[in-house]
């Protein structure tokens, strides 16, 4: 299994994880053996057919009933219960022998990324791992919102310490000039900063300034891959970037603390 490449799709609720997974699956599986793995116990419907699916072991509705929890508590419990099934999933994946495993994660990003569940899942499944962090194009309309998303992306990167590609999804919803503006923000942090100064006021501006300065101290994300699975745009380029992401990467090493921290 040590050669298998696990690509974890992470991002805030509704950012397009499942849809992008489906498009990547269609493209990648033309040339490689690709296993779609669903780790979202709350998913009602998925735009692809998972080969291994946490919902065959745990469903949100059952956890709500059994533990008498509301939807949020039940989701938290379900994600934790996933850990019990990791050895089983690992075995299923291993016997399938895929080149790639595309991993769909729960919509509630914080459950997977900011508790220790995500790191334990990555470690439990093994192989070589990388993250695609998805940013909804909705947040690329405002420079201040965009800074918040870059902060979230950096925080996920720090948490997992894995090779990571940040991906702007649903770009079909942006006008060409909006897309150009985002590209300029990525190329020139001073331009992003000047746009924040022009847009935000009061405390919102103070916070955005602070975040920008923290980002420049730890290393501003430099790439943002643009995709629209709906129009099937950017998927080929994304696949090439994913290959490159694994290019120089060796065995997974999450260290004692569960992540390596910023390189």
Ligand X SMILES: Nc1nc2c(ncn2[C@@H]2O[C@H](COP(=O)(O)OP(=O)(O)OP(=O)(O)O)[C@@H](O)[C@H]2O)c(=O)[nH]1
Q: Give the shortest CB-198-to-ligand X separation in angstroms.
A: 28
Closest by CA position to 115, among listed 68, 83, 162, 70: 83
13 binds, among ligand X, Mg ion, none (CB under 5 to 8 A by kind): ligand X
Angle between helices 202-218 and 189-199 (to 10 degrees): 170
Q: Which of residues 100-139 bind ligand X (CB under 6 A)?
A: 107
Measured from the CB of residue 26, what is the shortest distance to ligand X in angstroms?
Answer: 14
Instruction: Residue 17: name the closest of 42, 1, 31 by CA.
Output: 42
Q: Which span (12-20, 94-102, 150-158, 217-225) binds ligand X, by CB under 6 A?
A: 12-20
Using CB under 6 A, which residues numbered 202 to 241 contact ligand X? 228-230
**Three-class DSSP category at 53:** strand
Interface residue with ligand X, options 4, 5, 7, 18 (CB under 6 A): 18
- Return d(Cα 230, Cα 14) in angstroms, integer: 14
Count of C-beta atoms within a 10 Å radius of residue 3: 9
Binds ligand X (CB under 6 A): choice among 19, 154, 164, 239: 19
Cα–Cα dist 186/184, whole Å: 5
Residues at the site binding Mg ion, with contacts judged by CB under 5 A: 17-18
Nearer to ligand X (CB atom), residue 44 or residue 251? 44
Residues forming contacts to ligand X in the complex (CB under 6 A) are: 11, 13-19, 40, 107, 169-170, 172-173, 228-230
């Amino acid at each position: 299994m040590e050669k298998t490449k696990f690509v974890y799709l992470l991002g805030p609720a509704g950012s397009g994880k499942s849809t992008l997974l489906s498009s990547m699956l269609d493209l990648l599986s033309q040339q490689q053996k690709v296993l779609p793995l669903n780790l979202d116990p709350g998913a009602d419907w998925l735009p692809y057919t998972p080969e291994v699916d946490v919902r065959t072991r745990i469903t949100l509705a059952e956890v709500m009933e059994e533990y008498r929890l509301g939807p949020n508590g039940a989701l938290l419990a379900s994600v934790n219960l996933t850990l019990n099934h990791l050895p089983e999933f690992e075995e299923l994946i291993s016997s399938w022998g895929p080149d790639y495993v595309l991993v769909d994660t729960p919509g509630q990003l914080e459950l997977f990324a900011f508790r220790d569940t995500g790191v334990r899942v990555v470690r439990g499944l093994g192989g070589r791992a990388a993250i695609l962090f998805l940013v909804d194009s909705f947040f690329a309309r405002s420079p201040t919102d965009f800074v918040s998303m870059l902060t979230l992306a950096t925080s996920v990167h720090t948490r997992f310490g894995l090779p990571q590609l940040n991906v702007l999804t649903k770009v079909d919803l942006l006008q060409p000039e909006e897309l150009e503006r985002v590209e300029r923000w990525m190329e020139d942090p001073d331009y992003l900063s000047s746009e924040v100064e022009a847009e935000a006021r009061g405390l919102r501006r103070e916070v955005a300034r602070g975040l920008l300065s923290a980002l420049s101290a730890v290393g501003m994300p430099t790439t943002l891959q643009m995709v629209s699975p709906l129009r099937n745009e950017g998927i080929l380029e994304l696949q090439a970037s994913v290959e490159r992401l694994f290019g120089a990467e060796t065995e997974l090493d999450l260290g004692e603390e569960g992540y390596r921290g910023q390189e």
